[in-house]
A and B are shown apart, each in its own frame.
Chain A
């Protein structure tokens, strides 16, 4: 188990490292002058030179890369090019907000999608199965921002059930209040992810239902309910864990558009502002943090997968 963990951890670090290099070269090697883009067309050559010196852009490219990675490793995310404040001052609180939205969405998505997949599998071929699989996947291919504006129009403006902003009103704090504000944006994210997770859960449940051990359980006189809860769900959960982990990047990517529509000061809004202001310091660090979050979730899923699957667990301990 220890060597498995070490190996998986090593691969994760390697992935983030490579991602950092790719992100660095995307901002520095793609045609486009960082200083000109940041300062605007009117900047004098002296301004550009001063800017380049300030951000170390006059150094050889590999030195810049090593310096950036060294700073990242020591926890320094750099200085914003548009506000001249540390990147962490804007990025960290924004990440907190996004994490809250993602958590509410996650709590909505995972149980409901698994339930949907199980219901579809138990009613294989029937109308409800078709509705969940075809309906779920059709909803999943419609972009989050389309769902977000449609939900906002219907439930925020026309029926006025939900608040139109994801930020709770100033002063009117409270845990439940903030969750209430996050519900509509979470539904937009839910609609995009439900279909994939439900489909994989459904496939896992069907495979387990058709298996020999299920037939044995039934022949031994287990009730269908007991057989399903004891045998089917446990086996069907494995592919579900893998697919949930694989959807994390889509959830994070979806945050950007949803946060814009619901006027939420999260990570997506900060990132988009940085794109508009050509603030590469914020962009680079923001994108690397995204990669770290995604890789960490992938790692957790892999370990969970191994722990829950006796076959893999045994192979690891050997």
Chain B
């Protein structure tokens, strides 16, 4: 089926493998990217195995040791509920990582499908969908999320994940649509159409592999935003259960203590959010450089 006409501007498998190898080598030499991967890897390990090696249980309250400053036993001190801040920071990586990855994957799947379809078919469907997406993005993500959290009875991380995915879909759809519009001009698409390939085949087998670079970059950018949004929502007390070990919630429960000079229950989760967010940013920056877009 792979006749020569499809090779006109579509890269052969061997060529593609070669490009992939070169890109990997470039990434490995990129210092910022490597640091980003290391930090994200550290937090991922904490999210998976953290609860097995923390010195204390994350939700264990010890009222004899309330608001103790950092020391040999309580490395990051304890909060006003007598909970070990270090253990809560380690275990707290879990919820935010799971939620932001899930939201970004869902948003990317939805956005990519919409982008492929609207970019390929154009016409009235494209116009209507793009107007709707424009309307959604005329409202700040945090505010849409707050509205949805208020409207839905009973908050849960699952609902929050769907809301964030919904809010991100327009951005991803727009990126994919622009790439598809450019790609659809190439002869390999016309050739596939002449071979009377079915539309899903053309969209997902022919065009999709060629628009992967912008999708991968957009995925990492959105992952950063997801961390940003989920941390903010949990700080605002929306979307996750109160009291769960979660960096945003931890800060919202403890930040008022900074006026009593008890900085540690706030500062350590703040540093954790910062390192996670920056690590994802370094990764997307590295990818952006290598893909040259």
Listed in ascending order, the chain A residues whose CB lies under 8 Å from chain B are 14-19, 21-23, 26-27, 30-33, 36-37, 134, 137-138, 140-146, 149-150, 152-153, 157-158, 164, 249-250, 252-254, 256-257, 260-261, 271-272, 274-276, 278, 280, 283, 287, 290-291, 294-295, 298
Inter-chain CA distance A272–B210, complex, in Å, is 43
Q: Does B185 sit within 8 A of A, measured CB to CB?
A: no
Given contacts A149-B251, A157-B259, contact A37 B138 (CB under 8 A): no
**Chain B residue at minimal CB-CB distance from A292:** B138
In the complex, which of the residues B140, B227, B258 contacts A252, with contact meaning CB atoms closer than 8 Å? B140
Task: From B153, B232, B258, give the contact of A143 (CB < 8 A).
Answer: B232
Please state if B152 and A32 are interface contacts (CB–CB under 8 Å). Answer: yes
Whole-angstrom CA separation of A280 from B153 in the bound complex: 13
**Shortest beta-carbon distance from A61 to chain B in Å:** 14
Beyond A33-B153, A37-B153, A275-B146, whether A145 also contacts B132 by CB under 8 A is no
Within 8 A of A (CB), among B110-155: 131-132, 134-144, 146-153
- Rounded to whole angstroms, the CA-CA distance of A253 and B285 in the bound complex is 24
Report the separation of the CA atoms of residues A240 and B130 in the bound assembly, to the nearest whole angstrom.
24
**Which of the segments B58-66, B71-79, B201-209, B269-277 contacts the partner chain?**
B269-277
Given A137-B281, A142-B278, A152-B258, decide whether A256 and B228 contact each other with a Cβ distance below 8 A.
no
Q: Which of B136, B146, B270 contacts A271 (CB 8 A)?
A: B146
In the assembled complex, the CB of A88 is this many whole angstroms from the nearest CB of chain B, namely: 19
Least CB distance, A203 to chain B, in whole angstroms: 12
Q: Which A residues lie within 8 Å of B235 (CB)?
A: 143, 145, 257
A291 pairs with B138, CB closer than 8 A = yes
Chain A: minimal CB distance from B285 (Å):
7
**CA gap between A75 and B137 in the complex, in Å:** 24
| B147 pairs with A23, CB closer than 8 A | yes
Name the contact of A30 in the complex, choosing from B140, B152, B278 (C-beta under 8 A).
B152
Interface flags, B266-293, vs A, CB<8A=1, else 0: 1100100110011011100100000000
7 shortest interchain CB distances as A-B pairs: A253-B140, A18-B135, A32-B153, A253-B142, A141-B277, A19-B135, A275-B150
Distance A141 CA – B40 CA, assembled complex (angstroms): 14
Asked whether any CB of chain A lies closer than 8 Å to the CB of B192, the reply is: no
Question: Contact at A290–B135, with CB atoms within 8 Å?
Answer: no
B138 touches A249 (CB 8 A): yes
* Cα A294 to Cα B237 with chains together (Å): 25
| Interface pair A18/B132, CB less than 8 Å apart | yes
- Which of B142, B273, B282 sits near A142, CB closer than 8 Å? B273
Q: Does B56 make an interface contact (CB < 8 A)? A: no
User: What is B's interface to A at a CB cutoff of 8 Å?
Assistant: 32, 131-132, 134-144, 146-153, 224, 227-228, 231-232, 235-238, 248, 251, 255, 258-259, 261, 263, 266-267, 270, 273-274, 277-278, 280-282, 285
Give 10 CB contacts A-B under 8 Å: A17-B135, A30-B152, A134-B285, A140-B281, A141-B224, A142-B273, A145-B251, A149-B266, A253-B143, A276-B237
A-chain residues with CB within 8 Å of residue B142 when the two chains form the complex: 253-254, 256-257
Given contacts A15-B134, A26-B151, A291-B138, contact A260 B236 (CB under 8 A): yes
Q: Could you say which residues of chain B place their CB within 8 Å of the CB of A33?
A: 153
CA A134 – CA B231 in complex, angstroms? 22
B153 and A31 contact, CB distance less than 8 A: yes
What is the bound-complex CA distance between A61 and B232, given in angstroms? 33
- Chain A residues lying within 8 Å of B248, measured Cβ to Cβ, are 145
Return chain A residues, CB-CB under 8 Å to B147.
23, 26-27, 275, 283, 287
Chain B contacts for A261, CB-based, 8 A: 255
Give bound CA distance, A21 to B136, whole Å: 10
> Using Cβ atoms and an 8 Å threshold, which residues of chain B touch A22?
132, 135-136
- Bound complex: CA of A297 vs CA of B131, how far in Å? 18
A31 proximity list for chain B (CB < 8 A): 152-153
Question: Contact at A19–B138, with CB atoms within 8 Å?
Answer: yes
**Residue from B261, B266, B281 having most chain A Cβ neighbours under 10 A:** B281
A32 to B155, CA, bound (A): 11
CA distance A298 to B138 in the complex (A): 9
Q: Measured between alpha carbons, how far is A33 from B152 in the docked complex, in Å? A: 8
- Residues B150 and A280 in contact, CB atoms below 8 Å apart: yes
Contact of B149 among A21, A143, A275 (CB under 8 A): A275
| CA distance in complex: A138, B255 (Å) | 23
| Complex CA distance for A19 and B231, rounded to whole angstroms | 25
Instruction: Give the docked Cα–Cα distance between A274 and B143 (Å).
Output: 12
Report the separation of the CA atoms of residues A298 and B136 in the bound assembly, to the nearest whole angstrom: 14
| Most chain A CB neighbours (cut-off 10 Å) among B132, B139, B278, B281 | B139
A138 contacts which chain B residues (CB < 8 A)? 278, 281-282
A20 CB to nearest chain B CB (Å): 9
B143, B236, B251: most-surrounded residue (chain A CB, <10 A): B143
Of the candidates B32, B132, B235, the one having the most CB atoms from chain A within 10 angstroms of its own CB is B235
Residue of A37, A145, A257 with most chain B CB atoms under a 10 A cut-off? A145
B151 touches A32 (CB 8 A): yes
A81 to chain B, nearest CB (A): 11
